[in-house]
């Protein structure tokens, strides 16, 4: 793949208003911000969206709004494997696909209990696929309800169904990532895209054939991850890429603390109308946590200066639009 084929796909957060309701106006500004940063897709209704803390109707309403606001400018995927039974999950998958998304993402931990075998997992996946004919699917090794990492063998079996066009990997271990990338390369489904969720793996995964990244760091500094996706496989940029990768590795544990509140604080610091209100994280950020995030922000500004990365003009995005309905 050429550098221009690489993508950064953010896992979207959900801004809330003062009544802890979904703030659609803030979501519009957030989408504008992501697009201005150069992202080439969206993962809506995901763990970062606090999908376990919003109702089924809110999941559908939120995803539908994002689809309508994006207007086909980039592809959108969203989680669709909610429900007590496989039949329930299939029904919800059909509903969320009807919002206009490009693929329905299936959480691996939704298809087997923590102590169930891979045979149970595959049986339930196959049943899900049989109940949702024609719907493009994706896999996501989501940390909740528990992180079910797919072995290379299970990944290969699922890939051979031909139904999967997307995979978000959270295995972290580079050997496991490469094993799956090698399988995807051998199967060679032109519609399939592999994304690593672990920012410290960015350059490794992209150099080994991943389509791109889909990490929480995109809710802090998406411009930096877009730059990484565009340059990681370029041998002429290896020194700069390796330097940035080490910088990202240093701060990655810090941005995970109190997430997604940490991301909301960071985005507000950048000037976006995102409140530090979360349904998933009940505690306020401590002064020490805020200071740490302020230091990460300073590091982000330095990365942009060193590498010539153009920061999004948030003031331009948030400025009220003046509509001229009649000649002056």
Question: How far is C-alpha 154 from the chain's CA centre?
Answer: 23
The pLDDT tens digits of the residues spanning 183-226 come to 999 999 999 999 999 999 999 999 999 999 999 999 999 999 99
**DSSP type of residue 154:** H
202/213 Cα distance (integer angstroms): 7
The pLDDT tens digits of the residues spanning 114-132 come to 999 999 999 999 999 999 9
The pLDDT tens digits of the residues spanning 302-314 come to 999 999 999 999 9
pLDDT at 322: 57
Sheet holding 164-169, edge to edge: 7-8, 212-213, 193-196, 164-169, 137-140, 103-107, 76-79, 42-44
pLDDT at 130: 98
Question: How far is C-alpha 69 from the chain's CA centre?
Answer: 18
- In 3D space, the residue among 142, 126, 138 whose CA is nearest the CA of residue 165 turns out to be 138
Structure tokens that stand for 164 in this block: 């999967």
Question: How far is C-alpha 153 from the chain's CA centre?
Answer: 25
pTM of structure = 0.94
- In 3D space, the residue among 263, 317, 297, 289 whose CA is nearest the CA of residue 50 turns out to be 263
User: 3-class SS at 10?
Assistant: coil
37/221 Cα distance (integer angstroms): 9
User: 3-class SS at 44?
Assistant: strand
pLDDT at 4: 52
Q: 3-318: CATH homologous superfamily?
A: Aldolase class I (3.20.20.70)
Beta-bridge partners for 84? none
Report which secondary-structure segment, H or E, holds 104. Answer: strand 103-107
Q: How far from 237 is each of 57, 74, 203, 240, 328, CA to CA, in Å?
A: 46, 27, 11, 5, 51
199/205 Cα distance (integer angstroms): 10
Structure tokens that stand for 35 in this block: 């697009």
Domain boundaries, the chain: 3-318
**Residue 221 burial (CB < 10 Å; 0-12/13-18/19+)?**
buried
pLDDT at 320: 81
Q: Which residues of the chain have pLDDT under 70?
A: 1-4, 321-328
Count of alpha carbons within 13 angstroms of residue 20, beta-carbon side? 10
Structure tokens that stand for 311 in this block: 């920061």
Report which secondary-structure segment, H or E, holds 79. Answer: strand 76-79
User: 3-class SS at 209?
Assistant: coil
| Residue 90 backbone dihedrals phi, psi, to 5 degrees | -65, -40
């Amino acid at each position: 793949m050429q550098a221009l084929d690489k993508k950064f796909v953010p896992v979207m957060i959900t801004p809330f208003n003062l009544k802890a309701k979904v703030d659609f106006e803030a979501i519009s500004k957030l989408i504008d911000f992501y697009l201005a940063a150069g992202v080439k897709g969206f993962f809506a209704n995901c763990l970062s969206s606090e999908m376990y803390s919003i109702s089924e109707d809110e999941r559908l309403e939120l995803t539908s709004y994002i689809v309508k606001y994006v207007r086909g400018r980039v592809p959108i995927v969203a989680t669709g494997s909610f429900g007590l039974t496989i039949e329930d999950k299939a029904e919800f998958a059909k509903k969320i696909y009807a919002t206009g998304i490009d693929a329905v993402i299936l959480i691996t931990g939704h298809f087997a209990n923590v102590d169930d075998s891979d045979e149970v997992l595959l049986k339930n996946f196959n049943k899900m696929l049989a109940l949702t004919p024609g719907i493009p699917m994706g896999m996501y090794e989501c940390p909740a309800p528990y992180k079910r990492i797919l072995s290379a063998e299970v990944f290969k079996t699922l890939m051979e169904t031909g139904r999967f066009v997307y995979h978000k990997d959270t295995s972290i271990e580079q050997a496991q990532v490469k094993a799956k990338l090698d399988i995807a390369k051998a199967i060679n489904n032109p519609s399939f895209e592999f994304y690593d969720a672990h920012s410290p793996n960015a350059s490794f995964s992209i150099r080994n054939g991943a389509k791109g990244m889909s990490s929480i760091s995109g809710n802090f500094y998406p411009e930096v991850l877009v730059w990484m996706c565009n340059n990681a496989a370029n041998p002429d940029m290896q020194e700069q890429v390796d330097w940035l990768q080490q910088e990202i590795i240093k701060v990655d544990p810090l941005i995970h603390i109190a997430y997604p509140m940490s991301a909301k604080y960071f985005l507000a610091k950048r000037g976006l109308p995102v409140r530090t209100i979360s349904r998933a994280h009940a505690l306020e950020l401590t002064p020490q946590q805020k200071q740490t995030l302020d230091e990460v922000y300073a590091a982000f500004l330095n990365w942009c200066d060193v590498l010539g990365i153009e920061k999004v003009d948030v003031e331009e995005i948030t400025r009220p639009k003046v509509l001229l309905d009649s000649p002056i």
